[in-house]
């Protein structure tokens, strides 16, 4: 009887350790790979840079990537302050921006979101 209880206890411990390792593997797998090779995914800037879109109807998104929700649009002449940047899973760079004044697309001054860097100058 003692050996059976001991075996059950050992098995429970092994399963706990096994699930713990699987849990940590899953948790680390949810962190996106770093395309920059060791640098953080999101970079923030101490001083902000002001830019403007090169196209009309540039989508402002909830996060970096084309699969993120579209919050609104900005147009040529709208000025934004870039406060950070990130790369998506495909390596495309995205800027975290804040509108300096109301956009032509109706977004209010101070609004923040993400836009693809390739259409800002």
CATH number at residue 67: 2.30.30.40
Domain match, 49 and 104 both: yes
Whole-model pTM?
0.63
Is residue 63 in a domain?
Answer: yes
Range of the domain at 18: 1-31
Q: How many alpha carbons lie under 13 Å from residue 52 in its C-beta half-sphere?
A: 10
CB count within 10 Å of CB 107 equals: 20
Domain match, 46 and 89 both: yes
* 3-class DSSP assignment, residue 33: coil
Domain match, 24 and 66 both: no
pLDDT for the residue numbered 73: 97
| Tens digit of each residue's pLDDT, the chain (121 residues) | 555 554 554 544 444 444 443 433 333 333 333 333 333 356 666 567 899 999 999 999 999 999 999 999 999 999 999 999 999 988 999 999 999 999 999 999 999 999 999 999 9
Q: What is the CA radius of gyration of the chain?
A: 23
Give the distance from CA 81 to its chain's centroid: 18
Is residue 37 in a domain?
Answer: no
Q: In this structure, what token pair is assigned to residue 102? A: 């109301």
pLDDT for the residue numbered 21: 39
Is residue 20 in a domain?
Answer: yes
pLDDT for the residue numbered 42: 67
| Tally of domains in the chain | 2
Is residue 36 in a domain?
Answer: no
pLDDT for the residue numbered 45: 63
């Amino acid at each position: 009887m003692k050996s059976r209880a001991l075996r059950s206890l050992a098995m429970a411990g092994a399963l706990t350790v096994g699930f713990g390792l699987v849990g940590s593997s899953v948790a680390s797998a949810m962190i996106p790979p770093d395309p920059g090779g060791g640098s953080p995914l999101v970079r923030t800037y101490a001083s902000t840079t002001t830019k403007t879109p090169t196209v009309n109807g540039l989508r402002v998104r909830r996060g970096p990537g084309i699969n993120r929700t579209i919050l609104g649009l900005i147009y040529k002449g709208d000025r934004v302050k870039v406060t950070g940047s990130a790369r998506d899973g495909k390596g495309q760079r995205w800027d975290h921006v804040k509108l300096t004044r109301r956009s032509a697309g109706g977004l209010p001054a101070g609004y923040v979101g993400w836009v693809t860097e390739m259409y800002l100058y």
